[in-house]
A and B are shown apart, each in its own frame.
Chain A
Amino acid sequence: MTIFLIILNVVLKSLALIVPLLVAVAYLTLLERKVMASMQQRRGPNVVGLFGLLQPLADGLKLLVKETILPSSANTVIFVMAPIVTFLLALLTWAVIPFGDNMVLIDLNVGVLFVFAISSLGVYGIITAGWSSNSKYAFLGALRSAAQMVSYEVSIGLIIMCVLLCAGSLNLTEIVKAQKSSVVLCAIISVIFDVFCIGPCRNKSSPL
């Protein structure tokens, strides 16, 4: 019974984290499309709902009802597994992000390293997705972006190290608390520029 309660607790906490996160991500895509459209003097999505506010939900519905195509020459298990792995790893990082005092799913002592490790695992989703479809072009693209992710890992590790040295802890909650003193803040501000340069390259998206 206690095991059941513990599992229920974990599941409810995870849901309370994941559901707002996914909704926020959906609406951030809407924001991105709107901002990019206004930069290019277009309207952007404005048909579904008021000002296109239901557009993310429509997109999600479209993705769900699309026909699943499994290429006959594909390696089926890996082909199905690759997007699942990518999505799971993207969500897993949020388990250690503190949202407030004691508002964190797992208070790891090595939280920063956990984030780093999980983000370095993201390569697998991409490289297996490229390989499993048994197409040369998909594979070349996967190799390209995987090489990009691997090579930017080192520099982002060095950047994170600056923050760690100033905060003196690997625990994310401790790092947040260390921002009380302004020394850490200065270090982080100097680091922000580097992150701004490297982040888009690492996530394979153009900086708008």
Chain B
Amino acid sequence: MTFDIFLFYLFSMLALFSAFFTVTSKNPIHSVLFLVFVFFNTAGLLILLGVEFLAMLFLIVYVGAVAVLFLFVMMMLNVKISESSSSIYRYLPIGLFLSILFLFEIFLIIEGDLKSIDNVVFTQSEYKVLQTEFLVNTSWINNVISPTNVDVIGSVLFTYYSYFFIMSSVILLVAMIGAISLTLHRRSDIRRQDIYRQLQRDFEGATNLVDKKI
């Protein structure tokens, strides 16, 4: 119990610190690496919550794909040092406004959906009360069968939320088609590799004798 709370504080503290350094560090590459570290710690928090499937997806999608692309772009642009710190203060008001808005939304969700953090760190007597409640109000079928994360998410996703699932896949498909069509258009003024023509060439067509009189 205490070890869980220790891990929770460790992960959230590291996430907060590295998020801070993401914003403040001069080198954009360091920023991206700190962002990766934020993702890592968030995945750790998700594992602590017991949703290891989502944590692994988080690692695969955000750390394995999205942040790698960030890193690619940052390194290709070759921005050594971002502009001096005076211009940071220019964006301070709007950043502050957005972050306060976001924090407000998070607190709204915590009030509405989740239990607040006070319920997690309960004392010994409260723990006994909770335990008796646990004995009375637990659906024992769930405890006996103990479905895994993937089972639960899959059974919900493919039944109740199937429309949303299909919708998100269509959105991804549209994005993919957009990315392909951006690179597909041909210009006549540049020489391109034409694999069909390359394969069509044979020895007779490729070499010819030139009658060159000196």
Which residues of A does B touch, CB under 8 Å?
A: 3, 75, 78, 108-110, 113-114, 116-117, 120-121, 123-124, 127-128, 131, 139, 143, 146, 150, 153, 170-171
Contacts and interface: CB of A to CB of B under 8 A. Distances in A.
Given A113-B53, A121-B59, A139-B75, A128 B33 contact: yes
B162 interface: no
Interface string B2-30: 01000000000000000000000001010
Nearest to B74: A131
B64 A117 contact: yes
Interface residues of B, number: 22
A120 B65 contact: yes
A97 to B, nearest CB: 16
Nearest to A132: B29
Tell me the interface secondary structure of chain B in the complex: helix
Contacts of B60: 113, 116-117, 120
A123 B52 contact: no
Interface string B75-114: 1100000000000000000000000000000000000000
A162 B29 CA distance: 37
Contacts of B53: 109-110, 113, 170
Given A124-B68, A143-B75, 10 more contacts: A108-B52, A110-B148, A110-B149, A113-B60, A114-B56, A116-B56, A120-B65, A127-B68, A139-B75, A146-B68
A39 to B, nearest CB: 31
A123 B56 contact: no
A117 B36 CA distance: 13
